[in-house]
Amino acid sequence: MTITRFAPSPTGLLHVGNIRTALHNWLLARKAGGRFLLRIDDTDAERSEERFVEAIRDDLAWLGLEPDAAERQSERLVHYEAAFDRLKASGRVYPAYETAQELELKRKIRLGRGLPPIYDRGALELSDADRAAKEAEGIAPHWRFKLDHAEPIEWIDGIRGPQHFEAAQLSDPVVRRADGSWLYMLPSAIDDIEMGVTDVLRGEDHVSNTAVQIQMFTALGAQPPRFAHEALLVGAEGKLSKRLGSLGCDAFRERGIEPEAIVALLARLGTSLPVEPIADRAVLIETFDLAAFGRAPARFDEAELERLNAAIVHQLDYAEVADRLPTGMGEEAWLAIRPNLAHVGEAADWWQVVTGPVEVPELTEEDRAYVAEAAEALTWGEDPWHSLTGALKAATGRKGKALFQPLRLALTGRPSGPEMAALLPLIGEQEARARLVRAAG
């Protein structure tokens, strides 16, 4: 069974890049009939906050990306200890004592010598007596994973194709801090093994992490999952944008963006498939394909999201929005007003046009006389708008804009909007006649 996971840190709100990662893992699992896991990476107790845990869950629910199971790394510390002890016994983790300042100095020296700025493994040269002396001085070690320089690191990436790294060109990563807390990479690998994760789909900024984690999997006696790394999002201008880091579900909700619009855009952003206003998740699931992903950065355009949102709103049934509409606004009104909306929240403005009052427009003397004639000619039946305009056309010879525009202004106070044939029955005969009389002066 295909099992994917989304593993955010609860140190802030989800942003558009996180949302895209979660969505793609959800789509990958759903297409294969598999499972999508939410794993809260909250091992950093100082920076993790419960309010962000709840916000992550709420945002995924709003987006319709409900996980099949959820775990918290803070509740799995005993698993990390057990795996760490095994790695320690096999010599795959080792203590190191350098301070941050000492490591930075080493890095600069290596750069000055034209060498890659990786850790020099100085801690491996310490004797037992050296280590005992350090600890006698009260210096607690941090712990590094020892990469096997003889073991090739290779995998077939689901998006990037064949990948190859030389372990000797990578730093032995710190996996545990001096205070005993865990860094990201080792707990993640342990969880992937124990939770049966088969596919890891994430951003290309994790490629070098994957190279290191592949050796962690093998050191723990496990087969690595399949990896795929997608290109990162950039702004519409083609550059990395700080704004992308602030765009989250709260911002989208405030702007009246529908979750279906976000999903439709992000599902295909960065792929060869067309971005379309597809509200049916089944279509997005069926067409999701890692082979369609390109290597170029994926451009997130807020204007494109707005266009998609309007198109999605025009597809929404009354039952889907009824609880967000003004009191008294029924299905007939929704269907009449819907084609003019970019956001569901705008329905209230048009409902006010229906229920009144509307501002009396300034009309020419000729148009006031015309509107007065319309008040007299108004009759009510199955299609009062076309009955009225048909009678006025025959009586006055007006046509086109001259026929329709003064009536629209008098009845709605606005020069454009929903089809009057749908709007007029909602306004009602008595109110419509009263508005025509007021406009006539």
Are 189 and 211 found together in one domain?
yes
Are 268 and 303 found together in one domain?
yes
In a domain, 436, yes or no: yes
Please give the pLDDT value at position 94: 98
Assign residue 21 the CATH number of its domain. Answer: 3.40.50.620
Are 217 and 243 found together in one domain?
no
Are 37 and 89 found together in one domain?
no
Query: What's the residue count for the chain?
Result: 441
Assign residue 293 the CATH number of its domain. Answer: 1.10.1160.10
DSSP state of 121: -
- Average model confidence (pLDDT) across the chain: 95
- Tally the C-alpha atoms within 13 A of residue 278's C-alpha that lie toward its C-beta: 19
Assign residue 126 the CATH number of its domain. Answer: 3.90.800.10
Give 375-405 pLDDT, tens digit per residue.
999 999 999 999 999 999 999 999 999 999 9
State mean pLDDT over 73-97.
97
Please give the pLDDT value at position 261: 98
Output helix, strand, coil percentages for the chain, rounded to the nearest 5: 50, 10, 35
State mean pLDDT over 355-372.
95
Are 172 and 95 found together in one domain?
yes
In a domain, 360, yes or no: no
Say which residue, 317 or 116, is predicted with more confidence. Answer: 317
Question: Residue holding tokens 């499972």?
Answer: 35
Q: What DSSP assignment string belongs to 105-139?
A: HHHHHHHHTT-------GGGG--HHHHHHHHHTT-
Structural domain of 411: 365-440
State mean pLDDT over 154-164.
98
Please give the pLDDT value at position 286: 98
Please give the pLDDT value at position 52: 96
State mean pLDDT over 121-134.
95
Are 300 and 325 found together in one domain?
no
- Indicate the pTM of the whole model: 0.91
Please give the pLDDT value at position 340: 96
Longest dimension (CA), the chain: 109
Please give the pLDDT value at position 312: 98
In a domain, 345, yes or no: yes
* Alpha-carbon torsion angle 431, 432, 438, 439, nearest 10: 150
What are the binding residues? Answer: 242
Are 190 and 65 found together in one domain?
yes
pLDDT level of residue 244 (50, 70, 90 thresholds): confident
State mean pLDDT over 364-382.
96
State mean pLDDT over 170-178.
97
Please give the pLDDT value at position 371: 97
pLDDT level of residue 245 (50, 70, 90 thresholds): confident
What are the binding residues for ATP? Answer: 242
State mean pLDDT over 97-101.
93
pLDDT > 70 in the chain, percent: 99
- φ and ψ of 239, to 5 deg: -120, 155
Tokens of 120: 């020099």
Are 69 and 14 found together in one domain?
yes
Assign residue 422 the CATH number of its domain. Answer: 1.10.10.350
Give 8-20 pLDDT, tens digit per residue.
999 999 999 999 9
Give 221-240 pLDDT, tens digit per residue.
999 999 999 999 998 777 76
Q: What DSSP assignment string belongs to 290-340?
A: GGGB-SSPEEE-HHHHHHHHHHHHTT--HHHHGGGSPTT--HHHHHHHGGG
Are 165 and 87 found together in one domain?
yes
For residue 286, how many other CB atoms are within 10 A of its CB?
Answer: 12
Q: How many domains does the chain have?
A: 5
Please give the pLDDT value at position 130: 95
Please give the pLDDT value at position 243: 77
Are 246 and 226 found together in one domain?
no
Contact present, 194 and 79 (Cβ < 8 Å)? yes
Distances (CA, A) of 31 to 61, 157, 279, 288: 19, 19, 16, 7
> What stretch of H or E contains 45?
none
Nearest CA to 9 among 183, 242, 263?
183
In a domain, 247, yes or no: yes
Cα-trace Rg, the chain: 32
Over 90: is that where the pLDDT of 175 sits? yes
Amino acid identity of residue 407, one-letter, is L
Please give the pLDDT value at position 240: 65
Distance (Å, whole) CA 103 – CA 410: 76
Give 274-293 pLDDT, tens digit per residue.
999 999 999 999 999 999 99
Are 53 and 116 found together in one domain?
no
Tokens of 238: 């083609």
State mean pLDDT over 53-58.
97
Are 435 and 372 found together in one domain?
yes
